[in-house]
Structure 1
């Protein structure tokens, strides 16, 4: 039996359920999180409580791999603390599931550097400017307006869409504050907020008005093993097994030499052509929906990492289906797996 550990990450509970379904009793699942009421912990065979402080986190992970004889460690939110030490984990008998070397992971996390490399390779990306203050924002928006294009902005580094705003010419600040979900703010209000010291690096981009497509990819050394595209509609997603989005994802995976279970995001421009936005070098939250294309990506990911399967055994997706993403509720006070008593913070 193989032991697999997922530390804190997005949708780990769903991944554990799918892995358990595919493994047919061949694996032991560990989940960890800083908070004991995290849903993922209830889906695991063993729950660990992570230290909140990043200092020493790598050493704590290494100790847990030794103590619990972990065969495969799938790091989530703190991979930057783990990526450079895969050899130390290997010496302890643990394989670390990482999609690329530490320097490539850092490049992909830097949205400006990523777009620069992708554009140089001829991949379709939106026009973008690096902004380090209000005047940079004003200049970039003016350049886009001259082309008849709208503008948006997002942080140079970040996840889950945090910091994304669509920049519009006129919008009262109170309208922005009362409806933050609209993600719209006046150009000048945003620029003025950046005129002081300490403004973060931002990307100003052409706003892409089309549908967003998220491609969940299982890859090995720059080659797609299997992939499923999820084209997002108003309240659902079209799960698709072929098309331009998957072709663009394949070119992206090849360019950066990626492996493992990752997610490639793109949005259509006004002409309906997909433009590459970013690569999430982790399993996506919507990966669960790929089962409607006939492939259990989380299971095949760990099976390949552990040598329990070969790429030729992985099924290819099929068909097209409209899926509604409706999360189910669970009782957090239901019986839970045993907690390790040796790793709680004092």
Structure 2
């Protein structure tokens, strides 16, 4: 069966490589002819630039019919495409979107997500929103607590864009050491006074271990979850039944299908030790670090596609290999030959 992965981040290439030698013929599309996704796929075609919303969805449906695509795992316009599943199905194409458009938008808006989060699953750090210098000062006054640092990040964003831990005073040692994610409280105030702000989050900075949990689910059923502890050289694949149970509840609560990820960080327990995982955010997409979790013996994209096509043998799901230290080995691949100069 032909499966298409549409325009997405370059880390999607790891999923395409994981499908080599399976029953699926891997296709990829992108607007950039030199993108790494295209180098990783067996078959490729280009997407037109500038198409958005329903116009993009209509183009994608037509492209799938023309190329004989049976399954689509979308990256671009993933939210809007959720409303097109019926039309794709009528054309004989299974379109895999994480959940409804409304739920996807809810998860993308981190302030809405935190406001509606069920803390019976995992606690969350104290937080507030701001969109001006005045509301930043008010939020900081509310959240300030001895021995607790504050951090800021946009309510909408990917990876660590806009994230900073706030320091009471400038820290020369951190600056000289190349620390990118710190800034002084005074510098933050100056920045936030300079112009109109999007909705931002101000939160307590948790000082414990940071984890990323990669999950694959189908129609609200968790198939597998891999817990990665960050820090040091590489990442540690951990055995954490508590976080796997949280993944199961998240899958069911939001009715998720596909590969998704959530981030936690340890905060103080009742004894004041940083051992209690707190929820930070859920991303209804594959994480940038999924390649680490693939090394734990779980072929995330294969499980997803097998579930979508009804051939998944749940009794034979592979175990997660834990206790591993996983490091990254980057490889350069030829996308296309350089044209000779005239």
TM (norm. structure 2) is 0.88
Where in structure 2 are the equivalents of 1:1-346 lying within 5 Å? 2-10=1-9, 11-21=11-21, 23=22, 26-55=23-52, 56-119=55-118, 123-171=122-170, 181-270=179-268, 271-333=274-336
What's the offset of the Cα at 1:149?
A: 1.4
Distance 1:334 1:227 in 2: 39
Distance 2:156 2:308 in 1: 28
Flag the structure with more relative contact order, 1 or 2, with Cα contacts below 8 A and sequence separation at least 6. Answer: 1
What's the offset of the Cα at 1:332?
A: 3.0
Distance 2:189 2:251 in 1: 35
Moved over 6 A (4+): none
Distance 1:216 1:245 in 2: 11
Distance 2:294 2:106 in 1: 30
Distance 2:299 2:116 in 1: 31
Contact 2:130 2:199 in 1 (8 A): yes
1:225-244 deviation per Cα after TM superposition (whole angstroms, max 9, x unaligned) = 21111111222111124333
Structure 1: runs of 5 or more not aligned: 336-346
Structure 2: runs of 5 or more not aligned: 269-273
**Quick one: structure 1 residues 292 and 108, their matched pair in 2 at CA, closer, same or farther if it must change by over 3 Å?**
same
**Quick one: structure 1 residues 18 and 227, their matched pair in 2 at CA, closer, same or farther if it must change by over 3 Å?**
same
Distance 2:120 2:322 in 1: 31
TM (norm. structure 1) is 0.88
Distance 2:107 2:264 in 1: 14
SS at match of 1:273: strand
**Quick one: structure 1 residues 46 and 151, their matched pair in 2 at CA, closer, same or farther if it must change by over 3 Å?**
same
Distance 1:28 1:45 in 2: 7
Give the equivalent residue in structure 2 for 1:338.
Answer: none
Contact 2:127 2:143 in 1 (8 A): no
Give the equivalent residue in structure 1 for 2:271.
Answer: none
Distance 1:161 1:286 in 2: 13
Distance 2:226 2:326 in 1: 13
What's the offset of the Cα at 1:121?
A: 5.2
1:293-341 deviation per Cα after TM superposition (whole angstroms, max 9, x unaligned) = 2221121111111223243332231332001123222233369xxxxxx
Contact 1:12 1:40 in 2 (8 A): yes
Say what the alpha-carbon RMSD is for the aligned residues.
Answer: 2.3
Distance 1:44 1:94 in 2: 19
What's the offset of the Cα at 1:131?
A: 0.8
Distance 2:246 2:209 in 1: 15
